[in-house]
Amino acid sequence: MSKPKKPTRHPWRENIEAFTMAVIIALLFKYFILEISKIPSGSMQPTLMGEPKVGIFDRVLVDKLSMHFRDPERFEIVVFKHPIERSRVMVKRLVGMPGEDLQVKNGDLWTRPDAQSEWTIVRRPWPVQQEMWRKLDPTDPSSSSWSVIEGGEGWKIRANELSANGAGTVAFRRGSSGIRNHYLDGYPTEIAKNLQVQNSHSNRYLVGDLRLEGKITAQEGTEAVVVHLSEDRQTYTFMIPGPAATQQEPTIAWRSGGSPGKVLTSDGPGERIVVAKERFRLPAGKSVRFAVQNLDDRIALEIDGDEVAWAEVEPVSRPEGGLSLEVRGSGAELTGLEAFRDIYYIADPKSGRRTWWTEIPAGHYVMLGDNAQDSADSRDWRGKVYEFETPDGETLRKRGNFREGENPARGTIGSEPARRFRDEWGEVHWFAERAGRPELEVHAPLVPRELIQGRAMAVFWPILPHRGIVRLTWLH
């Protein structure tokens, strides 16, 4: 008995099956696991760059898998569909959570669980805050923002280095009208120097949340290195004892009084002092890293990466900050000095109001762009509803994303004035102006949970070493 023949398979059929399976796997991977997204605009700058003026468009790796098993968390950078323009995919930072009230006030975020509760300031996890700091160094690295205001006869200032021989005090950006929310703060130097920005909100708002970090190499006769951070009429004095100091604990002292930006002495009635638990004096001839900051109504002093003293402080009415640095005794070398400001959220980019708030129901979120001066996000999303008659006499009622001059847009049907209106699902409607009845604009700040597709994990492109641009980083 002969062995039955195995049915033959045509090569073209095998190729089609293999190709089909590859497409199915690729689609499943794209829609359910990972996706690559190109950043088209500047709403998340400088965290994510989408800058046509210099031809830089970040490519971002998006994690979609985790969102199938958990809800998004505050401050994650998420990818989602626009709530009133579903065909449009956006990338923003999630800042408002379900079941709370969210407020933007004086550049900061505040929340409360209900209308009967007090507002509390929202603080970011440290990895997120590191992305939020905006470096204040000038675009030209050869210039310096520091200038002597007292003593300092033997001092030399070079960019971000101070060679302090003898006692003296220097101020950061002396003579300016305060530290403001300059548009290009925090931008990579190679990008910032090629940008000319015209923005009505740039330099408009004073910023009080500041950070200074660097290295100190003290001389044998150094008594102390002192940093003064001021905000409104409050001054915070951070004192690090030197080798010649009698006191052996770093301190933070503060009291109200004086004028904004003025250096005050740290003694007098009403003074409050926080003393570090551990003893520490700057060693002679050895480099020590330090940092001081005033952030979200909390002040802190760091030495070699450890927070040695901190305190909660009362909010001020005007976030107007100043920064100065003082050396007492024989002198010290200060290198790698870098000043930062916190992101300043503009409450209402259209009107310039300092306060904006919204209630967030269950299952919804609020999104803001890191480019607070130029981002279309929850603060200004507005929908428009039109009720109109189609040419065949049917009456329709459609909602869409209202963008001045773009949606709706003017046109004609024949010789008759008409409107073109794209609804939230991307469908375009034409109707004669006489046949359309617009309703009032409605503020639409909320993103439903089902529209959130994934979390931006990392930037992996562009890499342009010949231009000094390497966009390669994890996102927080």
Question: Which two tokens mark 264?
Answer: 């005050």
Q: Nearest Cα to 374, choosing from 203, 183, 218?
A: 183
Active-site choice (41, 43, 144, 230): 43
Q: Nearest Cα to 424, choosing from 447, 454, 394?
A: 447
Active-site choice (64, 81, 92, 384): 92
Taking CA atoms, 167 is separated from 229, 274, 289, 331, 385, in Å, by 19, 25, 20, 6, 67
Taking CA atoms, 159 is separated from 48, 143, 185, 322, 411, in Å, by 28, 5, 17, 19, 56
Q: Are 280 and 250 in contact (CB under 8 A)?
A: yes
Q: Are 341 and 134 in contact (CB under 8 A)?
A: yes
**92 labelled catalytic:** yes
**43 labelled catalytic:** yes
Q: What is the 3-state secondary structure (H, E, C) of the chain?
A: CCCCCCCCCCHHHHHHHHHHHHHHHHHHHHHHCEEEEECCCCCCCCCCCEECCCCEECEEEEECCHHHCCCCCCCCEEEEEECCEEEEEEEEEEEECCCEEEEEECEEEEEECCCCCCCEECCCCHHHHHHHCEECCCCCCCCCCEEEEEECCCCEEECCEEEEECCEEEEECCCCCCCECCCCCCCCHHHHCCCCCCCCCCCCCECCCEEEEEEEEECCCEEEEEEEEEECCEEEEEEEECCCCCCCCCEEEEEECCCCCCCCCCCCCCCEEEECCCCCCCCECCEEEEEEEEECCEEEEEECCEEEEEEECCCCCCCCEEEEEEEEECEEEEEEEEEEECCCECCCCCCCCCEEEEEECCCEEEEECCCCCCCCCCCCCEEEEEEEECCCCCEEEEEEECECCCECEEEEECCEEEEEEECCCCCEEEEEHHHEEECCCEECCEEEHHHEEEEEEEEEECEEHHHCEECCEECC
Q: Are 229 and 322 in contact (CB under 8 A)?
A: yes
Active-site residues: which are they?
43, 92
